[in-house]
Amino acid sequence: MPDPTPYPLDQLTERGDAQASALVLRDRTLTYGDLRTRVSLLAGWLVGKVEPGARVASWAAKGELTCLLPLAAARAGMVHVPINPLLKRAQVAHILSDSGAVLLMGTKSRLATLEDGDVPTGCGLLEESAVLTEAEDAAATLGPSQHDPDDLVAILYTSGSTGAPKGVMLSHANLWLGAVSVAHYLGMAANDVTLAVLPLSFDYGQNQLFSTWYAGGSAVPLDYLFPRDVAKACGKHRVTTLAGVPPLWVQLTEVDWPEDAVSTMRRITNSGGALTSQLVEDLRSILPETKIFPMYGLTEAFRSTYLDPALVSTHPTSMGKAIPFAEILVIDDTGEVSAPGEEGELVHCGPLVAHGYWQDEERTRERFRPAPAMSEYGGTAVWSGDRVKRDTDGLLYFVGRRDAMIKSAGNRISPQELEDAARATGLVAEAVALGVPDDRIGQAIHLVVRAQTGAQDAQQSLEKALKRDLPNFMQPHTIDWRETLPLNPNGKIDRAALAREVGA
């Protein structure tokens, strides 16, 4: 087990060798020595700009500001609110208002889209380039902090698939121990190079930087237009570590990978949805020597489980076991620990649990509740709402979300099970199952799919295959073929958008 002692987040800058590469930007590379200097300057400038505890937001593509601000704000005693650069003005206006941000730093083009009323009174706007220039001119440096690790350091806003985005409150300890945990179970080292393609505005994306810097490695942030750009960047930078979500992996299996990208890749990680057996097989055909780490997480507790790469072939549908610093319980509807093979709710206990939702006591009470009596950690736990099973070997398996179950003709149907069955036919690359209101049966099953590249007669064959593989009550009433499926700002399939389209 790694060291469970949390430290202030800004001390991540102290981990690497001063002369070693820490951050590879488009126009230059920052060593760990440079990283310490630049974080110190940015933190010193912030102290002269806003009050301690203030929320400072960023809305820009991956670059020096968005990569260093989480550490600089932490050092300055402020709370960072990263905003996904793909969000539009109305969503940004909600986040600024809800968080009470007093400063928004962003690219000129993004700031120019904001309209009257979007920016709360008292919130200043500053272009990204001006921030860095002002910090250099001020030359007010600030050394590593000694903040209480339990202090609030970031508010990450979820995608808002079930309503307005809600801000998850995270402490120094949450983010520090998340970095320690991931670096430990991935086996990361100082000679690792991480290509950071995921948005830095959510925990999985931020951890690309934090776990790499904890290990003393080098991070290469990348905003890409096409999947082939990712494969090329892996070769160019001799990347060893790549994190993604299922839609990205699907796209990456459909492009050519240069040999120098394949030869250096030590590990790939997945979260934000399950990998299918076919997708694992496709990834292995491209990256035969690369370890595959399927993972499960939720913003409210960062990361909960990972599957040992040695078990991916024999247990391809498993979520694995708890990561370091996480205690995962499966609790049945009576409040007891579920027996092996019995369904229950995944409850996450331990120091990775967030501090609740920003200024939302009602939703905090719903999700953040006292840990079950049998918990070793106790305290507050995240009651995920996800239904899982644990087998006799202790491996966890996802069943579905309680509130996402399709209720059709008296049957409770897991969208996950139906989607897995559709993808298992080899005829579709992506699938989303939704329940559409139906006066006769409660909900009709609407299956949205994208054909697998090269699949022959997919539309004619899928219905026949599902009738062969699934019981009658699980058969889709509608199969909706699409050339592309919408993605949300985090790169995951946008189920909420599809639900709106089909009236689910």
Question: pLDDT tens digit string along 466-503?
Answer: 998 887 878 999 999 999 999 988 888 999 899 999 99
Identify whether the C-beta of residue 39 lies closer than 8 Å to the C-beta of residue 13: yes
pLDDT of 47:
98
Q: Which two tokens stand for residue 37?
A: 């200097």
Topology adopted by domain 405-502 = GMP Synthetase; Chain A, domain 3 (3.30.300)
Nearest to 382 by CA among 365, 398, 396: 365
Identify whether the C-beta of residue 28 lies closer than 8 Å to the C-beta of residue 95: no
What is the average per-residue pLDDT within 142-159?
A: 94
Give how far Cα 418 sits from Cα of 37, 221, 315, 424, Å. 52, 36, 19, 10
Q: Is 163 exposed, middle or buried (0-12, 13-18, 19+ CB in 10 A)?
A: exposed
pLDDT of 410:
66
Mean pLDDT over the full length of the chain: 94
- Kindly report whether the global pTM for this prediction surpasses the value 0.75: yes
Residues of the chain with pLDDT > 90, as a percent, come to 83
Nearest to 77 by CA among 2, 178, 8, 166: 8
Domain extent listing, the chain: 32-147, 174-368+381-404, 405-502
How far apart CA 408 and CA 471 sit, in angstroms, is 13
pLDDT of 296:
95
**Degrees to nearest 5, angle at CA 83 with 41 and 181:** 75
Domain 32-147 CATH class label: alpha beta
Residues of the chain with pLDDT > 70, as a percent, come to 98
- In this predicted structure, the answer to whether residue 412 has a pLDDT above a threshold of 80 is no
pLDDT of 160:
45
CB-based contacts of 482: which residues, under 8 Å, 6+ apart?
448, 449, 450
Q: Which two tokens stand for residue 370?
A: 């006292």
How far apart CA 70 and CA 149 sit, in angstroms, is 14
Topology adopted by domain 174-368+381-404 = Rossmann fold (3.40.50)
- In this predicted structure, the answer to whether residue 46 has a pLDDT above a threshold of 70 is yes
How far apart CA 467 and CA 480 sit, in angstroms, is 16
When pLDDT is cut at 50, 70 and 90, the band that residue 162 belongs to is very low
pLDDT of 243:
97
- Judge if 32-147 and 174-368+381-404 fold alike in CATH terms: yes
pLDDT of 58:
98
- In this predicted structure, the answer to whether residue 82 has a pLDDT above a threshold of 70 is yes
Residue with token string 């969000």: 87
Tell me the pLDDT tens digit for each residue of 283-328.
999 999 999 999 999 999 999 999 999 999 999 889 999 999 999 9
Identify whether the C-beta of residue 85 lies closer than 8 Å to the C-beta of residue 58: no
Identify whether the C-beta of residue 192 lies closer than 8 Å to the C-beta of residue 212: yes
206 φ/ψ angles, rounded to the nearest 5 degrees: -60, -40
When pLDDT is cut at 50, 70 and 90, the band that residue 402 belongs to is low
Residue with token string 């002269």: 48
